[in-house]
Amino acid sequence: MTQNPAVICLTSLSHSGSTVFSMALACHQNTVSLGEVYQVLREGPEYWLNANDKICSCGQPAAKCDYWGPALRKLIEQKVTSPSTDGYFEQAYHLLLDEFRHLYSPQMQAIDTSKGVKHLKLLADSGNIDTRVVFLIRDVRSYSCSQTRLARSENRKGFKKVKGHHWYQMLRWLIDNKKRESLLSSLALPYTTTGYEPFCFEKESVLADTFAFLDLPSRSSSANLAESKHHVLFGNPMRNCESRKQKVHYDSRWFNETGYLTPAAMFPFVMQYNKAKVYRAHEPINNDVTALFPEFGAHS
Ligand SMILES: [Zn+2]
């Protein structure tokens, strides 16, 4: 009996913590993150095998990477090389996952952190790739504070100035997350929704729930992000900052900001969705104030 190839897709709006979350998922003994697979495929295998300046997170260019080297050469061998050809992406995904299974033991699972939704539609259509989706949502207050901060620092002109407003970012957040949620439902892919904040503050229990959804056995050790296994050829592997790799650092700047308060009062439905989706399974998030402010913790 041949089992279908399987893949775990981590999906979220951009700037929602997917990089750090994917590294935490890849700390499981049975998972390896392959970064943004769809974006690798979009360039075609020849591009990557010849691009000696594009370095995989393992430290090697694609041609010498233990995973991408043989996987991309397999695409060329099978003449699956041209992204504009009909059926290219589906065939290519298949070959990549076959190669993954060939290289690692059969219980290992690949993590795909591709942006956008094209790969999700394609995987749902393929019908013979077992796909499970983890949908990560960041607290709208944290999201809108960081997005407005970013937009204002970019000094946008004209209509794009709207990006520097909390009301715009909060509505954008709601619309885009709802859109993705209804897409996942309509594709009938098995998915789970996870809040980024519960992950940061109750990491072990959120990860345990996620691994259970993914049918992965209990993790053998507690996650140190530096232990994650990855071949990220395209995407943000957090490779540039050694200290950030050790543990989850939560950007708490929004705790001191108030710009989201008025739109939050004007759009209670945004806050209701936030509460329902981000904190759904983890309410109250944590009554123990020492989890948020370790300096108030035991001094003994
Ligand atoms: Zn690699």
Tell me which of 134-138, 185-189, 290-294 is least confident: 290-294
Q: Label residue 298 by pLDDT band (50, 70, 90).
A: very low
Task: Say how many Å lie between the CA of residue 203 and the centre of ligand 1.
Answer: 27
* CA 33 to ligand 1 center in whole angstroms: 10
CA of 110 to the centre of ligand 1 (A): 13
Decide if pLDDT at 37 tops 70.
yes
What spacing in Å lies between the alpha carbon of 69 and ligand 1's midpoint? 8
Q: Assign domain 6-292 to its CATH architecture.
A: 3-Layer(aba) Sandwich (3.40)
With a cut of 90, say whether residue 181 has pLDDT above it.
Answer: yes
Distance 60 CA to ligand 1 centre (A): 6
Q: Quote the pLDDT of residue 292.
A: 55
Reported pTM: 0.88
Mean pLDDT of 64-78: 97
Q: Measured in angstroms, how far is the CA atom of residue 235 from the centroid of ligand 1? A: 12
**251 Cα: distance to centroid of ligand 1 (angstroms):** 29
Q: Does pLDDT of 78 surpass 70?
A: yes
Phi, psi of 134 (to 5 degrees): -110, 115
